[in-house]
Amino acid sequence: MSQEHNMRRVTAIRNGTVIDHIPSGQAMRVLEMLNIDKSTSVPVSMVMNVPSKKMGTKDIIKVEDRELNQDELNRLALVAPEAHVAIIRAYSVAEKMTIEVGEEVINVVRCTFSNCITTNPREPLPHRLRVVSKEPLTLRCHYCDRPQDLEKLIGNLKSNGCFL
């Protein structure tokens, strides 16, 4: 194997989060969902289309001095349902997590149908989306049974600045 293949593409981080096994081409979407943009004050490294034995190609993101919370991990599952997340402390992996989408996505994102009962402020219902299929990810609202447009869900997150 040539020396070029053994080179590390991005340097190690002291503290922060590494998101690996992001489907190729989805890294920008992940950054949007995590509200990471040019105003972010911490260093962010992104590598796209990296060779992967498991996936063919993949994307990787490293965010220094920031650990993802559970809400962010739940959002990540919408774009990268099989991603691996490593929390780094003092240059070592302190925690490892594999993102998994369950049978339902609860209070992570709102139904995209404007007449759904969940849009009525007088009806304080939990936001529940059923996972119909994991590959590709297909969601339906628990209440109105409308299929959800993943692009719209992600767009709502960006325009609102948060899920709920």
pLDDT digit string (tens) for 59-81?
Answer: 999 999 999 888 888 888 888 88
- Return the structure tokens found at 91: 């240059």
Q: What is the per-residue pLDDT for 135?
A: 82
Taking each helix axis from N to C end, the angle separating 150-160 and 70-79, rounded to the nearest 10 degrees, works out to 140
pTM over 0.75: yes
Q: What is the per-residue pLDDT for 155?
A: 72
**Residue 105 pLDDT exceeds 70:** yes
Q: How many CB atoms lie within 10 A of CB 137?
A: 17
Q: What is the per-residue pLDDT for 51?
A: 92
Nearest to 46 by CA among 63, 66, 21: 63
Q: Give residue for tokens 């989408």.
A: 101
